[in-house]
């Protein structure tokens, strides 16, 4: 069986982080979340963290070059040799090109893209709740609006590219956490991707 090389995509508040962790755990592969990597660096006050903090807090995208280099380094680690699940990368067409080039250099490609759909008002409601629960610095009203608008203008178009390659499964992201995990698991199983 080929290693699962997956991407989960969805608007802010779609629950993609939570579902990504569940799916990766079930498949025994690591999650590579660019948002988590950036947040950990900000928290630890590393050089990278200092560089990206203002960008993230404003809801803007970190430059592609920097983000793509971080992902390449991460995917080269041993634990990603048997597959991985990307969360939050690629999120624009430039990053799709970077990832394609990297994977192609290893004779690889993404084997599945999970598109988690939730209506806009539902995701805004969930984000408002997260803002009060987690207090993320980029969950201000302004940064949320910017991130959702970048999602629509820059991230949603990457799905057209992957759709043409026939690797996208669109999953309804409304329902209980378990129900959504089951939907994703079933879609992946239909592609021959299972634990
Ligand atoms: P959300 O999906 O709620 O915006 P993430 O945790 O995925 O949260 O990302 C948080 C922030 O980290 C983004 O707003 C952006 O500033 C930065 N970031 C994450 N992934 C990328 C990426 N692929 N390219 C550029 N910036 C990124």
pLDDT in tens, 84-124: 999 999 999 999 999 999 999 999 999 999 999 999 889 88
Place domain 5-190 in its CATH homologous superfamily. Answer: P-loop containing nucleotide triphosphate hydrolases (3.40.50.300)
For 18-66, write each residue's pLDDT tens digit: 999 999 999 999 999 999 999 999 999 999 999 999 999 999 999 999 9
Confidence of residue 1 (pLDDT cuts 50, 70, 90): low
To test the ligand 1 pocket, which listed residue (10, 61, 137) has its Cβ within 8 A of the most ligand atoms? 61
CA of 132 to the centre of ligand 1 (A): 19
CB 147 within 8 A of CB 12: yes
Catalytic residues: 16, 91, 130, 136, 147
49: Cα within 13 Å, side-chain hemisphere? 10
CA 102 to the chain's CA centroid: 17
Domain ranges for the chain, please list them.
5-190
CB 20 within 8 A of CB 33: yes
Instruction: Indicate if the pLDDT at residue 190 is higher than 80.
Output: yes
Contacts of 120 by beta carbon, 8 Å cutoff, 6+ apart = 11, 148
């Amino acid at each position: 069986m080929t290693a699962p090389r997956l991407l989960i995509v969805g608007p802010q508040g779609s629950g993609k982080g939570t579902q990504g962790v569940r799916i990766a755990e079930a498949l025994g592969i690591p999650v590579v979340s660019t948002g988590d990597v950036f947040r950990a660096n900000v928290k630890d006050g590393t050089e990278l963290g200092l560089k990206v903090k203002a960008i993230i807090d404003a809801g803007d995208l970190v430059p592609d070059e920097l983000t793509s280099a971080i992902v390449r380094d991460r995917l080269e680690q041993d634990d990603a040799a048997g597959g991985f699940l990307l969360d939050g990368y690629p999120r624009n067409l430039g990053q799709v090109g970077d990832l394609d080039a990297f994977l192609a250099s290893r004779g690889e490609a993404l084997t599945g893209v999970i598109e988690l759909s939730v209506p806009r008002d539902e995701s805004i409601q969930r984000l408002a709740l997260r803002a009060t629960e987690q207090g993320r610095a980029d969950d201000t009203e302004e940064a949320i609006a910017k991130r959702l608008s970048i999602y629509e203008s820059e991230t949603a178009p990457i799905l057209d590219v992957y759709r043409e390659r026939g690797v996208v499964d669109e999953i309804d992201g409304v329902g209980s956490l378990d129900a959504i995990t089951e939907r994703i698991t079933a879609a992946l199983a239909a592609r021959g991707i299972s634990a």
